[in-house]
């Protein structure tokens, strides 16, 4: 199976999970294709100053792989600077958020795996 970028439609979300600004999310695969073992595989784009608000994961974990840009990953109350090439992991029972503090778009892959 190959999914062409021309087949994908970005979705604009304002104040995602209580965050700031507008986030662009492009679903790369559906839950059905992932056999309901993951609920999200998406490319995220956060313009400067935007964020995904603080939220908790239960019965699942989330991974971010930072493609470009820079920002702050809020990891269970600890602020960690991030940049391209970094991997952020949030386990079940943990909370996180992410914010673009740079001058260019912060782009990353987001994957939520069900336990």
Q: Write down the pLDDT at residue 52.
A: 98
pTM for the whole structure = 0.96
Q: Write down the pLDDT at residue 88.
A: 98
Task: Give mean pLDDT, residues 65-89.
Answer: 98
CA dihedral 14, 4, 113, 96 (to 10 degrees): -30
Q: Write down the pLDDT at residue 38.
A: 97
Q: Write down the pLDDT at residue 53.
A: 98
Q: Write down the pLDDT at residue 71.
A: 98
Burial of 100 (0-12, 13-18, 19+ CB in 10 A): buried
Task: Give mean pLDDT, residues 25-53.
Answer: 96
Other beta carbons less than 10 A from residue 51's beta carbon: 23
Q: 99-115, pLDDT tens digit by residue?
A: 999 999 999 999 999 99
């Amino acid at each position: 199976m190959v999914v062409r970028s021309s087949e994908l439609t970005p979705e604009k979300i304002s104040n995602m999970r209580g965050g700031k600004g507008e986030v662009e999310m492009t679903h790369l695969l559906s839950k059905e294709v992932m056999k309901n073992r993951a609920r999200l595989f998406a490319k995220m784009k956060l313009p400067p100053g935007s964020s995904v608000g603080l939220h908790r994961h239960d019965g699942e974990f989330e991974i971010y792989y930072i493609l470009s840009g820079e920002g702050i990953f809020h990891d269970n109350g600890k602020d960690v600077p991030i940049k391209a090439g970094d991997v952020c992991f949030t386990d079940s029972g943990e909370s996180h958020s992410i914010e673009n503090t740079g001058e260019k778009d912060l782009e990353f892959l987001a994957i939520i795996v069900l336990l």
